Structure 1
Amino acid sequence: MDSIILYLINIIQEQYKQICYLLLFICKYIPLKQWAFDDSHSPEYQKFKVDKLPTVYTPATFDYQLYIAYIKHRYGYLIKPIKRRSESDIPKDLVCPRCGAPHDYLYKNNGAKGQFMCKVCEELFNSDNIYKHTIELRCPYCGNILVPKKERKFFRIHKCTNRKCSYYLTNKRKLPPDLKPEEKHKYKLHYIYREFTMDFFRMDLHSLPSNATGFSFKKFSPHILGLVLTYHVNLKLSTRQTSHALKEVHGIDISHTTVASYAMTAACVIKPFVDTYDYKPSNILSADETYIKKLGKKHYVWIIMDACKKSILGYQVSDNRSVGPCILAMRMAFEKFKVFPSKLLKFIADGYSAYPLAAQYIKAQKGWDFDVTQVIGLTNDDAVSTEFRWVKQVVERLNRTFKMSYRITNGYNSDEGALYGVSLWVAYYNFLRPHPHNYWKPLNEIDEFEKVGNMPAKWIILIRLGQQKILEMQKSSAVSGNTCS
């Protein structure tokens, strides 16, 4: 019996050794975290990356006399005033901004360039010292104070100018050996931080525009409004084609300007209901941006959709491709979660740097911590693209579906027209369009639709639900206003 136990113990020990060898082999030769793309190591790709957050430094001041006494008591060393070989030109009223030491303890650190150093606390300072500010941003790699360099529409760019920073030296070593000095500006070498100057979580996403009007129907009935939306949105007819179809098929003489006015106002009323509907989203979201035309100029549509349930959760229209509208679209999508899933969320996007930058801002403002997985390229050259390519293709297919409806417009004439034109299409896509994913039924089925059997009546129900939602929002804002007062 004892021999059998010893035999089994020897087998267990041999298996343990083999497991250790295999773990050592895996750790040495197989990376546990693969790069999303092979070019991630190259300096060309560095400019599309978002650096980690800086160190927030709050300077603290103290009294130099107490510090001198402490050093003498603790170490037996007395810090004496500077013995100058020649007459000093340091101003008599100059004191150290950190410890308050007088000019007898100060000397010039870089000659006539204006920087001074304190012998007591060894602080470097100049006329614009850090103690004039409440907080300062420092580089997380070298601790150097970040210098504001550029002003953008939504943020301010801070840069670490330290030439001995480890981040700078690491990126500098990655430069091609045959690179010309005048081409060095094409690569991102220094640490960069973007400080947002706008609070995107205080902006109202559901406000009505000033030109939104009610439906008086002095000449036409609600059923004709439903017909207008059915022809214009469902059947992808332009405003002139919709006017022509109503006249030829139904004998209704309505101008194309009235069609456009009806569509605009219907979109304004339906939008709050569509944006605040409880979609019960899954934990896999996909994001992408496409372009449209407004008065012949390129604008962008940001779309974030549920990759599993196919519903559009967030969207924005902007005249630029910066991070601001990206944050608003992500905020609109994330507000659909009753409890934010944090690290359980799979957020898939392309390689554009606005998405990780927006994620960094949202984490700092709301504490919503999630990772952005970026699928780069058109082929599955890495493990990340192989695993998440299907998610990216879902939103790409959605963009093509949107473009089929957008082509009839030949572009928009205003920013509000573009936004509410897109929102009207989102309402149709989420609530009225039959999808093969849901057995050729709408993605989100509403109980009120069971009482009607035609599309114009469904549009009228959507408008009524939108009006109810607007009244709820107005009552809640009135109650909150009275509570604050």
Structure 2
Amino acid sequence: MSKIISVIIKFLNRINKFIWKIIIFLSKFVKVDEIKHLDDKTEDVRYRLFNVDNPAIIEPFAKIEHKDYKQLIKDNNIKPVKRRNGKTINVDVKCPCCGAPKDYLYDNTGKQNQFECKVCSYIFSTHFKGENVVLKCPHCRCQLMLFHHREDFDSYKCQNNKCPFYLKNKNSLNAHDLKLYQEHPEKIKLRYIYRKFNIDLPTLQKDYREFIKSPIDLSKAYSSQYIIGLCLTYNVNYGLSYRQTSSILRDVHEIYISYKTVENYCKAASSIVHPLLEFFPYDLSDTIAADETYIKILGKTSYIFFWFDSIKKIVTSYRVYEKRDSLSSIKAAYSTLIKYDTLPESLKVISDGNPIYNVAVQYWSQNGLPFQLYQVIGLTNLDDISKEYRSEKQIIERFNRTLKYYYRPKGGFSSLDNANSYMVLFATYNNFLRANKALDWKTPVGLDELNNISNMPNKWIELLNLGYKYSDIYC
């Protein structure tokens, strides 16, 4: 039996070799470019991603010429709508133009949010009650419909099936994506979408100033200022945990304070130096790199949004957020943009492909702080932007690794406030105390007050004194 199987295998191998010889011979006479593919459209991954479209057209709400529906019904012999699908309109609604009841209204979308009056042919939406403006699609000028209400913004979609934007995107789908869209239309974005933000700018500005607070008054501490400077030096400059800092103070300096006292000193110091970190008159360049990295708070993932001057090596945004969402990106952008006296026209922000940065661009462009965003996609330079700005992206990636080096011994944080307190101290250390090789071993920001101070604890004490001065001026 084994001999028969071996003979069959040899026979099949000979046939296989013969077939391949025929294929190689025929391929010499066939040009691959002349082959007509059934589907010559490449798989377009853009439609699987979240994209930010151009702003909508905002027009004042046109005044309605009110009519009498009873007179129109009588004159034109109009009968109520016959609903063939058996569905009824459950919401309490009537035509705002003629006052016709819901028996004379068509449910245009099937979701009872847009109606067309059979009596006067007026089309209206229940989502625009009391609105003074109308949002329209910039491609077809049709009125946009509210389809998602988020915590920070409302999403409006163009429902026009003849919209050029929608038709162009749909026609560019290949067979695979078209089938996916027919089965799961929510997975592929084809229609125009506009996001109307509900973020209160004064509240955002207040949050920017007051997100760091400490109930501890450092001026009433039992320890001397030098001991507080030692705590900050070991905890921030050398990345030691609170327990390790307490241990090294005891073993090396014979200073007996608990790790909880070290923690309280560091949290109080962060609230003092925060005004210095935020309101110092930085001389920033026009090239900012932005990225987010994660840390652990009580075992759960939170996110640090770093915005970083890639030329001057100055950290401009450093806050920790529980979510990696649009609001976090908008707040991180604000803490950087506000540090410019006059926003340069050539301001460039380089980030990865995360779409929340596009939302931040759109929001701040609408609020008078525009900037250009360049997104470096992936790990290889597949486009000109990635090729030109890859180095800036790598700079902030290396800075993220620097943070992880200092953060790793801490093993996470016990609360969001503790995480933000540490990030304030870390950003202060980077901007004012940490020598950078790219700057010829100088600090990103030079302070005359620190030039004559030789040791690090006393430098921290001087930064605390400057923090008090900036607090009196700006807070």
Which TM bucket (shorter chain)? 0.7 to 0.9
Structure 1 counterpart of 2:406, one-letter code = S
List runs of 5+ in structure 2 lacking aligned partners: 1-40, 82-92
In the alignment of these two chains, the number of paired residues is 410
Aligned to 1:329: 332
Q: Distance in 2 between matches of 1:358 and 1:110?
A: 36
Secondary structure of residue in 1 paired with 2:332: helix
* Cα drift, residue 305 of structure 1: 0.8
Match of 2:132 among 131, 134, 137: 134
Q: Deviations over 1:319-373 (max 9, x none)?
A: 001011111111111111111113x1111111110111101100111x2232211
Q: Distance in 2 between matches of 1:216 and 1:277?
A: 23
- Retained in 1: the 8 A contact 2:78–2:119? no
Aligned to 1:124: 123
Structure 2 counterpart of 1:168, one-letter code = Y
- Retained in 1: the 8 A contact 2:43–2:173? no
Match of 1:232 among 207, 232, 235: 235
Whether 1:450 and 2:448 are equivalent positions in the alignment is: no
Q: Distance in 1 between matches of 2:306 and 2:141?
A: 38
Cα gap change, 1:123 to 1:409, in 2 (>3 Å): same
Secondary structure of residue in 1 paired with 2:324: coil
Structure 2 counterpart of 1:337, one-letter code = Y
TM-score by length of 2: 0.79
Q: How does 1:388-407 map to 2 (within 5 A)?
A: 388-407=389-408
* Cα drift, residue 95 of structure 1: 10
Cα gap change, 1:218 to 1:133, in 2 (>3 Å): closer
Q: Distance in 2 between matches of 1:461 and 1:245?
A: 23
Secondary structure of residue in 2 paired with 1:431: helix
- Retained in 2: the 8 A contact 1:40–1:46? no
Aligned to 2:424: 423
Structure 2 counterpart of 1:292, one-letter code = I
Match of 1:301 among 298, 304, 316: 304
Q: How does 1:252-267 map to 2 (within 5 A)?
A: 252-267=255-270
- Retained in 2: the 8 A contact 1:110–1:116? no
Q: How does 1:12-23 map to 2 (within 5 A)?
A: none
Match of 1:53 among 52, 55, 62: 55
Q: Distance in 1 between matches of 2:173 and 2:158?
A: 19
Q: Distance in 2 between matches of 1:201 and 1:40?
A: 47
Q: Distance in 1 between matches of 2:148 and 2:193?
A: 11
Structure 2 counterpart of 1:189, one-letter code = L
Q: Distance in 2 between matches of 1:291 and 1:207?
A: 23
TM-score by length of 1: 0.77
Whether 1:250 and 2:248 are equivalent positions in the alignment is: no
Aligned to 1:72: none
Secondary structure of residue in 1 paired with 2:336: helix
Q: Distance in 1 between matches of 2:283 and 2:47?
A: 36
Percentage of identical aligned residues: 35
Structure 1 counterpart of 2:358, one-letter code = P
* Cα drift, residue 115 of structure 1: 2.1
Q: Distance in 1 between matches of 2:221 and 2:377?
A: 54
* Cα drift, residue 202 of structure 1: 3.5
Structure 1 counterpart of 2:143, one-letter code = I
Aligned to 1:175: 173
* Cα drift, residue 253 of structure 1: 0.9
Q: Distance in 2 between matches of 1:62 and 1:154?
A: 31
Aligned to 1:409: 410
Structure 2 counterpart of 1:408, one-letter code = P
Q: How does 1:368-383 map to 2 (within 5 A)?
A: 368-383=369-384
Q: Distance in 1 between matches of 2:94 and 2:470?
A: 63
Match of 1:155 among 153, 156, 160: 153
Cα gap change, 1:110 to 1:406, in 2 (>3 Å): closer
- Retained in 2: the 8 A contact 1:200–1:324? no
Q: Distance in 1 between matches of 2:447 and 2:403?
A: 23
Q: Deviations over 1:97-150 (max 9, x none)?
A: 45x7x98xxx8778999622676xx64347x48575322222222222222222
Q: Distance in 2 between matches of 1:124 and 1:217?
A: 68
- Retained in 1: the 8 A contact 2:95–2:105? no
Cα gap change, 1:273 to 1:110, in 2 (>3 Å): closer
Secondary structure of residue in 1 paired with 2:381: coil
List runs of 5+ in structure 1 lacking aligned partners: 1-38, 66-79, 475-485
- Retained in 2: the 8 A contact 1:118–1:124? no
Secondary structure of residue in 2 paired with 1:213: coil
Aligned alpha-carbon RMSD (Å): 3.0
- Retained in 1: the 8 A contact 2:116–2:122? no
* Cα drift, residue 382 of structure 1: 1.8
Whether 1:221 and 2:224 are equivalent positions in the alignment is: yes
Q: Distance in 1 between matches of 2:162 and 2:221?
A: 74
Q: Distance in 2 between matches of 1:263 and 1:110?
A: 61
* Cα drift, residue 209 of structure 1: 4.7
Secondary structure of residue in 2 paired with 1:445: coil
Aligned to 2:271: 268
Please, which moves more after superposition, 137-146 or 430-439?
137-146
Q: Distance in 2 between matches of 1:147 and 1:305?
A: 38
Structure 2 counterpart of 1:309, one-letter code = K
Q: Distance in 1 between matches of 2:249 and 2:141?
A: 69
Cα gap change, 1:158 to 1:95, in 2 (>3 Å): closer
Secondary structure of residue in 1 paired with 2:175: coil
Secondary structure of residue in 1 paired with 2:227: helix
Q: Distance in 1 between matches of 2:217 and 2:404?
A: 29
Q: Deviations over 1:193-237 (max 9, x none)?
A: 122112245422122655332124553211011111111111111
Whether 1:164 and 2:157 are equivalent positions in the alignment is: no
Aligned to 1:144: 142
- Retained in 2: the 8 A contact 1:109–1:116? yes
Cα gap change, 1:61 to 1:468, in 2 (>3 Å): same
